[in-house]
């Protein structure tokens, strides 16, 4: 498992209007900040923002498809939302394996999201259980 330490992965996605409306429909979070342009213009953001959890969900995508990859089980996530993500922003999830945790099949992974201006919009870490075939080597 020590071979994971220091590994990095990236995943990028442009947040489309469709993504925000789909997420709102799936979760029932119809907060006007996300779905009503006229309302959003009156807020401190000046326009609609993506749901924080929509943005953060791409951490799960990166964990399950990039690092550690398929078969990964997401156990814990700690997040801090630092800046808004707007419709049309391109976000990039940055993952880096920091340590192996007991039991030996768990990893602590820095999980950060940056926008297209290289601004940190979400900061946090993930705890994952790697696929069994990876820790029985």
| Number of domains forming the structure of the chain | 1
- The answer to whether residue 68 is domain-embedded is yes
What are the pLDDT digits (tens) for 52-69? 999 999 999 999 999 999
SS3 track for the chain: CHHHCCCEEEEEEECCHHHHHHHHHHHCCCCHHHHCHHHHHCCCCCCCECCHHHHHHHHHHHHHHCCCCCCCEEEEEEEEECCCCECCCEEEEEEEEEEEECCCCEEEEEEEEECCCCCEEEEEEEEEECCHHHHCC
State the CATH number of the domain containing residue 46.
3.10.129.10
- The answer to whether residue 76 is domain-embedded is yes
The per-residue pLDDT for 1 is 67
Q: Which domain holds residue 77?
A: 2-132
- The answer to whether residue 137 is domain-embedded is no
- The answer to whether residue 40 is domain-embedded is yes
**In this predicted structure, which of 8-12, 48-52, 70-74, 130-134 has the lowest mean pLDDT?**
130-134
The per-residue pLDDT for 91 is 98
Q: What is the pTM of this model?
A: 0.91
């Amino acid at each position: 498992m020590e071979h994971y330490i220091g590994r990095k992965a990236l995943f990028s996605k442009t947040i489309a209007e469709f993504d925000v409306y789909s997420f709102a429909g799936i979760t029932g979070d119809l907060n006007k900040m996300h779905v009503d342009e006229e309302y959003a213009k009156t807020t401190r953001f000046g326009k609609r923002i993506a749901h924080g959890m929509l943005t953060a969900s791409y951490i799960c995508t990166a964990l399950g498809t990039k690092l550690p990859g398929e078969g990964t089980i997401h156990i814990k996530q700690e997040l801090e939302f630092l800046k808004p993500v707007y419709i049309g922003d391109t976000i990039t999830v940055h993952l880096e394996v920091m340590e192996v945790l007991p039991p030996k099949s768990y990893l602590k992974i820095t999980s950060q999201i940056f926008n297209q201006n290289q601004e940190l919009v979400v900061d946090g870490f993930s705890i994952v259980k790697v696929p069994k075939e990876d820790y029985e080597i």
